[in-house]
Amino acid sequence: MAFQSKIADLNRLHEIIRVFTIAGFGDIFKQMGLEAAAERTGKILGWKHADEMAHLERPQRVRRTFEILGPTFVKLGQILATRPDLFGPEWIAEFEKLQSQAPPLDFEELRPQIEEDLGAPLEEIFEEVETTPLAAASVAQVHRATLKDGTKVVLKIQRPGIRPNIEADMRLLAYLASLAEKSVPQLAAYHPQKVVQQFVKALQNELDFMTEGHNAEHVAANFEDNDQIVIPKIYWEWTRQRINVQGFVDGIPGVNVQAIDAAGMDRKRIAQTGASAVLKMIMMDGLFHADPHPGNFFILPGERIAFIDFGMIGRVSEVRRQQIMKLLQALLQNDAEGLCTILLEWSDRGGDDPGELSGAVEDFLSKYAGKSMGLMDLSAMVGDLLSLVRDNKLTMPPDQAMLLKVFVSLDGAFKKLDPGFDIMVAIQPTLHEAVIDQLSPRALGNAGLNFSQNMWSYSLTCPRRYAAESIRLKAVT
């Protein structure tokens, strides 16, 4: 079996090299010492897709290459879309086009695996299972069903046999990333091994549907006192590694603005509610939905919002939250030295100013100096900051890069609902609450005097009404 696995991996490696070579990246494989393999696979397997690739720009060719190579590479592209510190806007735009849509499998092909996992015939568990899928993706397929007690649920079912193929691809990607980092100078700056490590960890979590269930429950617990936010219930009795059974959400997709209007709902209120929820996840809870696009939330009566699909989540440690506060403090106080320090810390180059960074930071800050938070264009500001990072050959921790991407996605998603939505205004109450939380006796005891002084300094930069409240609460505590 081990020998067969090695042969299968070798064949898959040849296929990967072939497709990338067709896309115009043969020189990279030559530098990696894989020229012979590239030539051999080209002669043996032919050059399908060559004409199609010839007319595409480089970012488009990479995106198309990922689509051709299948689920693992589609997921890789989706992870790369969360790294705007490494890739420019034209690349991110192409990676964001990668969707996991796939031709649906006949339900009878799924039935044996489902019954194996559940340990019983479907008819003993469900009153009804709709054989036509709600959605079909490269990793899973989703079907509506009804439990014996009449409860409406959805079944997220992993495609049979997909795990060994994905695990083989992950092994090969780790191998290629190691070769690339050692052999290809222009790729080393992208830290391919770290990117692949991030990807492997994320994909392993996505392949375990129980992890997704735990993520959803943790988020639900954080909103148990907020009746405006709905997280579908996980039915653990029937949830396994390859199947997730959760409550069915009967709402209007966030992308369907016309239906929201027809229902007489207040889109401005919905945008504010959704933004506040995601910001709370990030700034207060440290566990957030990492892909808050309109397809992943539904609008329910009363302008409530239901979030679905917690396969990709982000975590913000206490250290990272402190760094976010420091970043905002540096931006609001026009503190070039402070911003340089943070960027260098993120790149694991503390104190190592590459020379031009200070000047670039000062130019960046001068563009936004004197503007109130409410007048700042977040997307433009984050875009300029990320350009600064890339131009100076810096990097960011994956979780911070993902976080900035979420802020921009959030801004875009809710502007579709409310064109007047301004995340820099929406963020202020949550930031204020985070500041007050950090100034509590508990936080001061845990974090120490130095951090409390930083937080106090930050609170003075908030709008007057929030700063005044901070002073009052600090006096009380």
Question: How high is the pLDDT of residue 476?
Answer: 43
Query: How confident is the model over 322-348, as a mean pLDDT?
Result: 82
Residue closest to 126 by CA, chosen among 105, 107, 152, 101? 152
pLDDT at 416 over 60: yes
Query: How confident is the model over 204-220, as a mean pLDDT?
Result: 93
Q: Which residue has the higher pLDDT, 229 or 378?
A: 229
- Residue 287's contacts (CB-CB under 8 Å, 6 or more residues apart) are 215, 218, 219, 222, 281, 313, 314, 315, 316
Beta bridge partners of 246: 154, 234
pLDDT at 456 over 70: no
DSSP for residue 106: P
DSSP for residue 24: I
How confident is the prediction for the chain on average, in pLDDT?
81
Please report, rounded to a whole number, the percentage of residues in the chain having pLDDT higher than 90.
31
Q: Which residue has the higher pLDDT, 377 or 192?
A: 192
Question: How high is the pLDDT of residue 83?
Answer: 86
Q: Sign of dihedral through CA atoms 287, 290, 293, 298?
A: negative
User: Kind and range of the H or E element at 185?
Assistant: helix 185-188
pLDDT at 261 over 50: yes
pLDDT at 17 over 70: yes
Question: How high is the pLDDT of residue 349?
Answer: 65
- Give residue for tokens 């130095």: 450
Model confidence at 352, in pLDDT bands (50, 70, 90)? low
Q: Which residue has the higher pLDDT, 186 or 50?
A: 186
Distance between CA atoms of 472 and 174, rounded to whole angstroms? 54
Q: Which residue has the higher pLDDT, 35 or 95?
A: 95
Question: How high is the pLDDT of residue 445?
Answer: 52
Question: How high is the pLDDT of residue 51?
Answer: 62
Please report, rounded to a whole number, the percentage of residues in the chain having pLDDT higher than 70.
81
323 token code pair: 């760094």
Distance between CA atoms of 188 and 195, rounded to whole angstroms? 11
- Give residue for tokens 């029937």: 238
Query: How confident is the model over 202-207, as a mean pLDDT?
Result: 88
Distances (CA, A) of 397 to 195, 248, 403, 471: 10, 36, 10, 33
Cβ proximity of 233 and 254 under 8 Å: no
Lowest mean pLDDT among 63-77, 301-315, 360-374, 408-422: 360-374
172 token code pair: 């090969």
330 token code pair: 């540096």
Model confidence at 206, in pLDDT bands (50, 70, 90)? confident
Q: Which residue has the higher pLDDT, 45 or 164?
A: 164
Query: How confident is the model over 201-222, as a mean pLDDT?
Result: 92
10 token code pair: 């070798």
pLDDT at 102 over 70: yes
Q: Which residue has the higher pLDDT, 275 or 123?
A: 123
- pTM of the prediction? 0.78
Model confidence at 145, in pLDDT bands (50, 70, 90)? very high
Amino acid letter, residue 62: V
Model confidence at 353, in pLDDT bands (50, 70, 90)? low
210 token code pair: 């129980």
Cβ proximity of 78 and 409 under 8 Å: no
